[in-house]
Structure 1
Amino acid sequence: MKAVQLGKYETQPVLTEVPDPVLNSPLDVIVKVGGAGVCRTDLHIIEGQWEQKSGVALPYTIGHENAGWVSEVGSAVTNVAVGDPVILHPLVTCGLCRACRDGDDVHCVGSKFPGIDTDGGYAEYLLTNARSVVKLDPSLQPADVAALADAGLTAYHAVAKAARALRPGDTAVVIGAGGLGHIGVQVFRALSAARLVVVDRSPDALKLASELGAEHTIVADGTHVQQVLDLTQGNGAEAVIDFVGEGGALEDGVAMLRRAGNYYVIGYGGTLSVPAIDIISTEINFVGNLVGSYSDLVELMVLAARGKVTLHTATYALADFAQALTDLDQGNVRGRAILIP
């Protein structure tokens, strides 16, 4: 089969022929890829930022946002059948450890992460397992929802945490309304009655955020922190949901946060540096967010099937992966880029 493989860090991946995946376990599932999301994490992987964390042996196939149709199943698989349309939870988990038994799949002690530490979905076929496949509603097509497998799931995971802590009359600030952020805005509107303020450098991204339900949009032009403070009578927001995590976003976000507020970190690349006394004296909380659980993905697919969350996508053939990566890197993708084998 054809697959996009990374052979060396800081160099362009290549489209090459590799062996088809094979079933190794009774619970294995092989999926014919119908759509693979192109994520900024893929750029960070190529740059080598994940080299130490993943420990993956090169070359390998990247791509961790995947959906498609079941192609083969192991002898013990009962939840899906050949031909079923599915979206894949990004991790292949064991089901036996304490985290799995608590439903906290992302912290499985024996997990594999296709596209991060094992072969992923920039390919014609992908190996996963029965615990990772979520059967899609007939109204949903794999290519239309593929990026929800990571970007959408991560956004849902973070926003759902925030929504559980927010009350009507509270204010939440979303920093970044791009690929993850525009999903987060939709999830927020579906889950919370709190006031939503979106901050972004791009007027086009803010226009989309407004169309998706943000009450206030603010251009990040240097006055945005003060504008948020003005909207909140100088107190700051009860929640800041940061989909950027670099380029000054962290510093600005902390300045927008009220006392006892919660700062949800999703985007990364920068460094969070806050004096301990400031954290203690204001009782602010910093909450990390890594993907989400299987249950989070199931709930997100319910919102997608009901039309509450939709992806704005740009599609590329698998052979055009390099253009998709370039467009993403240069900020030319509105929403999410999707590779279609």
Structure 2
Amino acid sequence: MKAVQYRKIGQRPEVVEVAKPQPGPGQVLLKVTAAGLCHSDEVVMSAPDALGYELPMTLGHEPAGIVEELGEGATGIEVGTPVIVHGCWGCGVCEMCAAGKEMLCLNGMTSPGLGSDGALADYMIVDTPRRLVPIGDLDPVRAASLTDAALTPYQAILSVLPKLKGGTTTVVIGVGGLGHVAVQLLRELTGTRVIAMDVTQDKLDLAKECGAHEVMPSGPDAAEAVKKLTGGRGAHVVFDFVGIDKTAELAVACAGVEGHVVLVGAGGGGVKVGFFTVPSNTTISTSLWGGRAELGQLVTMAQRGQIHIQTRTFSLDDVPKAYQLLHEGQIIGRAVGVPSL
């Protein structure tokens, strides 16, 4: 079968032929229908040690597919069911996993495409049926990226939801695969005013289409513009979906007293936090992915038409080109690999 793999440190992904996998006891064989591409894949491929992952590795941690075959003892799902895959594969027994927070597994989380072979292939193995979330008649191309591009901002928003009351202001920095969904979720879940920032006009246009009340370039004057729009107060909540030093510093600059800055992007940056460097009583937190229960909630929202992921599709042969476009910032919304193309 065909697969897109990261094979050697420092090299770009390759399309290769590999053997079709067979499900072992308790496992599920999925015929892949769609798989989203993510900046996290770029982080892995730019790291000097591939973050410790064993290579070669098939990429793709946003899977949608149809259950093709059940391994011995696998129960709870029927062959032929269209599903997406919750990508946070924890141990299942530590206190975080027991609380439904497998993304915070104390024994180390793995994921398809981030530690094991992923979904950018004709078929993939899922280690247990409990990772699967049925999607009914949802378009798999739209549904695949619910697993990360929607789940990650959803979890981040839920972590500060009590602060997002009517009359508040929220800033979203970075209107990419995650940020454009965050804007929609904020509009659906809260009464906050949403200010979206990015460096390109096409992404600001997308933010406006997704419901942002205000859009502006994330340049040196952005924080002052936020202060002006809020009568000098600053934002109550700021989400940074980029995660480099400049955006983290901008996030803090946009925040007001008793504000909350959530650093979500995996850009490798950060910000200095101290008594005199952030507004008084400001909270700085990070947010990693999300739980399976929350993924089920997002599927229901998508089925009701409350959220919509902007996608651009590519055949598996063209996925390396898609990663290059993603690297260059030329993908609006989410790139999705589709094996049937």
Normalising by the residue count of structure 1, what TM-score does the alignment of the two structures yield?
0.94
SS at match of 2:111: coil
Structure 1 residue aligned with 2:99: 102
Q: In the TM superposition, what is the alpha-carbon distance from 1:7 to its structure 2 partner?
A: 1.5
- Change in CA separation of 1:111 and 1:178 when aligned onto 2, cut-off 3 Å: closer
Deviations 1:224-278 (A, max 9, x none): 1111001111111110011111161111110111111111111132432324223
Deviations 1:6-53 (A, max 9, x none): 111110121112222222222x1111111111111111211126723x
SS at match of 1:87: strand
Whichever residue aligns with residue 317 of structure 2, its letter is A
The answer on whether the counterparts of 1:174 and 1:196 sit within 8 Å (CA) in structure 2 is yes
Distance 2:65 2:134 in 1: 10
Whichever residue aligns with residue 22 of structure 2, its letter is V
TM alignment of 1:1-341, pairs within 5 A: 1-26=1-26, 28-48=27-47, 51-52=50-51, 55-108=52-105, 109=107, 111-128=109-126, 129-138=128-137, 140-246=138-244, 248-278=246-276, 282-341=280-339
- Change in CA separation of 1:175 and 1:85 when aligned onto 2, cut-off 3 Å: same
Q: In the TM superposition, what is the alpha-carbon distance from 1:212 to its structure 2 partner?
A: 1.6
SS at match of 2:288: coil
The answer on whether the counterparts of 2:141 and 2:311 sit within 8 Å (CA) in structure 1 is no
Distance 1:37 1:240 in 2: 26
Distance 1:16 1:281 in 2: 52
Distance 2:159 2:236 in 1: 13
The answer on whether the counterparts of 1:30 and 1:126 sit within 8 Å (CA) in structure 2 is yes
Whichever residue aligns with residue 304 of structure 2, its letter is R
The answer on whether the counterparts of 2:61 and 2:119 sit within 8 Å (CA) in structure 1 is yes
Percent identity of equivalent pairs: 36
- Change in CA separation of 1:116 and 1:50 when aligned onto 2, cut-off 3 Å: farther
- Change in CA separation of 1:191 and 1:49 when aligned onto 2, cut-off 3 Å: farther
SS at match of 2:284: strand
Normalising by the residue count of structure 2, what TM-score does the alignment of the two structures yield?
0.94
Whichever residue aligns with residue 62 of structure 2, its letter is E
Moved more, 281-290 or 34-43: 281-290
Distance 1:195 1:95 in 2: 38
Distance 1:41 1:50 in 2: 14
The answer on whether the counterparts of 1:68 and 1:143 sit within 8 Å (CA) in structure 2 is no
SS at match of 2:61: coil
Q: In the TM superposition, what is the alpha-carbon distance from 1:187 to its structure 2 partner?
A: 1.0
Gaps (5+ residues) in structure 2?
none
Q: In the TM superposition, what is the alpha-carbon distance from 1:111 to its structure 2 partner?
A: 4.0
Gaps (5+ residues) in structure 1?
none
Whichever residue aligns with residue 62 of structure 1, its letter is L
Aligned length: 337
Q: In the TM superposition, what is the alpha-carbon distance from 1:206 to its structure 2 partner?
A: 1.5
Whichever residue aligns with residue 280 of structure 2, its letter is T
SS at match of 1:197: strand
Moved more, 217-226 or 182-191: 217-226
The answer on whether the counterparts of 1:134 and 1:298 sit within 8 Å (CA) in structure 2 is yes
Deviations 1:187-210 (A, max 9, x none): 111111111111112222122212
Distance 2:161 2:235 in 1: 13
SS at match of 2:297: helix
Distance 1:25 1:249 in 2: 46
SS at match of 1:319: helix
Distance 2:219 2:271 in 1: 22
SS at match of 1:286: strand
